[in-house]
Amino acid sequence: MKIHRASDMGFCFGVRRAVDMMKEAAANGTRVTTLGQVVHNPQVVAELEQTGIKVKEDRSAVGVESDTVAITAHGVGETVVRDIEARGLKVIDTTCQFVSRSQRAARNLAERGFTVIIFGDPTHPEVKGVLGWCRGRGIVIKNESLEDLPDYLPSKIGVISQTTHTPERFAVFVANLMRARIDQITEIRVVNVLCNATTSQQAATRDLTEDVDLMIVVGGHNSANTRHLAELSRANGVETYHVETAAELKFEWFDGHEDIGVTAGASTPDFSIDAVVERIEEIDAALSAAV
């Protein structure tokens, strides 16, 4: 088998920055608690925990074991940082620059009287955080099918997307929204806050599907951008498996395949990618020896 790596995959700038900021704080002796997982990758979270960094999902629980709270790359609502600082705690804000841009867009639209529609997963921390910048004027719609859309919409609509969605899905969402509610909407503003790094990785994965007959996507099972890569690969007609670790790879996946593609989400560390490639090479050697 021949293994092909995507030209762009793994840690993006925002994730690398967040991880480096937390590691630097811990190395300087700061007792850090992160409000939620810094990124959706268990291996990265475990690595940070080994340096003494603790994870708390509940805002009220932070500050019990440390005096410094790290805001993760996914960001938080507008009032969260103020509330934490009001408790006398220090804050390390590692919010991704693209998420910060999305937060500002949501705030600016809301301040100008627009109801903000966010195309994204309502359970995702990024989306929940951005919703907290909408000044009570935000609506989250999960799918392009618009099944969560209220019966009535105000006449002024602002539209943004979860930063990790594909441009194609966002375009379909906006088009469907216009078709469904053009009779109610008198003014619409669409702000493109999609992450350039994620879009680049999606393009690299799409290109790779042209050269392989099996794709392995590496990254956290709860990582939205990693799941989108797997969806994109399958949509392009390639047999695709999404794994978090090398231990999940199965021999039968590779039997009969010659060109194996490997791509990874923006929150996937290099060591996870390398471990998967090494395991594929071991599987290849075992399959060849069995012939």
Between strands 138-141 and 115-119, the pairing is: parallel
Instruction: Fill in the DSSP letter of residue 8.
Output: S
Other C-beta atoms within 10 Å of 58: how many? 8
Question: Which residues, including other chains, have CB under 8 Å from residue 213's CB and lie 6 or more apart?
Answer: 238, 239, 257, 258, 259, 260
66-to-21, 28, 77, 90, 228 alpha-carbon distances in Å: 16, 14, 22, 10, 35
Supply the residues annotated as catalytic.
126
With a CB cutoff of 8 Å and minimum separation 6, the contacts of 93 are 70, 71, 81
